[in-house]
Amino acid sequence: MAQEAACDCSKDLEFLVNVLKQSPAYKIDYGKNTSGFDKAAEVLLAKAESTTSIFDCYVLLAKAVSLLNDGHNSLYGIQQEVAEELTEAEKITAYQETDFYAMYPHFDAVSELQQRLKTVPESAVEGVYSAGSKLKVGVVKRKGEEGYEMRILESQLPLWSAGEQLGILLPQSQGKFIAVMGNYQTKTPMMIRTGLNNGTFFSLSLKKHVDQKDFWLPKNTEENYQFEGLDSEVSYIKVGSFSGFNPTLSKAEAFYETLKNKQLGDHLIVDLRNNYGGGDRNSKLLYKILRRYAKRHHLYILINQNTASNAEQFALKMRALDNVMVLGDYSKGILTYELEGKSHKLPSGYFKLSLSSKAHKKYLPYEGIGVTPDVFLEYSADWIEQTRAYIKK
């Protein structure tokens, strides 16, 4: 098995900081007063050495990325393996000799930690979380530093073992976190922005109670586009993606065309839960249809903490119209910037940085926070039924 490897973290961090200074978020967040960024970067650079472990270096790099309030910026590990290839025993064995496989710290007293976490309050961030039936993770406060460690307590995944650290959670505003962690299937290091509520890290598929019903999710997670007449007065459409590329775009266009000929009720629920966005090429088509509908009828936009990017912009555009309400929970809060599709490889060869290229400044008040719904829905009951009850009021 590979030994824990190190990288020249100081070179990686210096390179990353210089690239970040070229981004639109740096110019918007700091303007001419860059001392705040410089001081924070200096603190991180002081911790970076040529012998820093890959994991510790990745955490420092991720902290540097998070100095900018731009949810589209992200840092990933560079890796050739994909999940499909790592299901074969011989490829798993070969992968166990790589640096990424061995980069995650280990800890002792697994069973003792699991027992202690069972006693923490239900409302605490700390606790035992499960990703389905194959992974159990203990979330514990970091000693002497902000955030939480994610420690694996039990694993049936081929690459992860009990006693390994899956990653850390860096607190952000509005009860959100940045997870700096390894991919469940490939161990590739990655940054994921996630909300937390009701014992669930929404973007990590981690929750305290495996049998808990996920009312915050759309019932049909397989299809992006769906129509249903709930009763004579209330209609429902699910819009799971605003992707501007085929085949999703062509499916969206066909679905939107069908709406023009449907007998919609006086109340229409538009479900944007888990819509990660896309582009105006898609969403503008629906906006034109719903704008006409809202002139004489009532619209209810459903959002959750995985409603992101262009879907958040769409929710705000719709709410600006008469007869439109937004219900659910805060959205993801990554709607101000556009990705440029370009990545920057760091000197060590272990990581790449993806940066945004264009800012839509009118959405800055929502970046890192999300769209606030007009009505918050409870996590303990079906969100469609709660919306219907609200309509009847």
**Are 382 and 337 in contact, with CB atoms under 8 Å apart?**
no
Q: What are the beta bridge partners of residue 190?
A: 181
Give the model's pLDDT for residue 96: 80
pLDDT-derived band of residue 363, with 50, 70 and 90 as boundaries? very high
Give the model's pLDDT for residue 3: 47
Tokens 């903490």 locate to: 305
Tokens 């705000």 locate to: 316
Length of the chain: 393
Give the model's pLDDT for residue 2: 44
* 297 φ/ψ sector (left φ>0, alpha ψ -120 to 50, else beta): beta
CB neighbour burial string for 165-176, b if at least 16 within 10 angstroms, e if fewer? bbbbbbebeeeb
Give the model's pLDDT for residue 158: 87
Give the model's pLDDT for residue 79: 74
The token pair that represents 129 in the structure block: 């979380």
pLDDT at 1 over 50: no
- For residues 365-387, give the mean pLDDT: 97
User: Could you tell me the CA-to-CA distances from 230 to 93, 105, 269 in Å, in that order?
Assistant: 52, 51, 10
Residues 178-229 have pLDDT tens digits of 999 999 988 999 999 999 999 999 999 999 998 899 999 998 888 999 999 9
Please give the DSSP secondary-structure letter assigned to residue 159.
S
User: Which of the listed ranges 30-39, 115-124, 370-379 does the model predict with the highest average pLDDT?
Assistant: 370-379
Query: What does pLDDT average to over the chain?
Result: 93
* Residues with Cβ within 8 Å of residue 280, at least 6 apart in sequence: 244, 310
> Is 46 exposed, middle or buried, given 0-12, 13-18 or 19+ CB atoms closer than 10 A?
exposed
Distance between CA 27 and CA 33 in Å, rounded?
9
Residues 243-295 have pLDDT tens digits of 999 999 999 999 999 999 899 999 999 999 999 999 999 999 999 999 999 99
The token pair that represents 66 in the structure block: 């998070």
Give the model's pLDDT for residue 283: 98
- For residues 33-50, give the mean pLDDT: 94
Name the percent of the chain lying above pLDDT 90.
82
DSSP helix/strand/coil, 343: strand
Q: What is the DSSP string of 200-223?
A: EETTTTEES-TT---TTS-S--S-
User: Could you tell me the CA-to-CA distances from 158 to 67, 84, 93, 133, 387 in Å, in that order?
Assistant: 34, 12, 10, 13, 42
pTM above 0.75, yes or no: yes
Name the percent of the chain lying above pLDDT 70.
96
- For residues 233-250, give the mean pLDDT: 96
Q: Which residue did the predictor score with more confidence, 321 or 175?
A: 321
pLDDT-derived band of residue 303, with 50, 70 and 90 as boundaries? very high
Helix (H) or strand (E) holding 324: strand 324-328
Residues 75-127 have pLDDT tens digits of 999 875 555 566 667 777 877 888 888 899 999 999 999 999 999 999 999 99
Radius of gyration of the chain (CA): 22
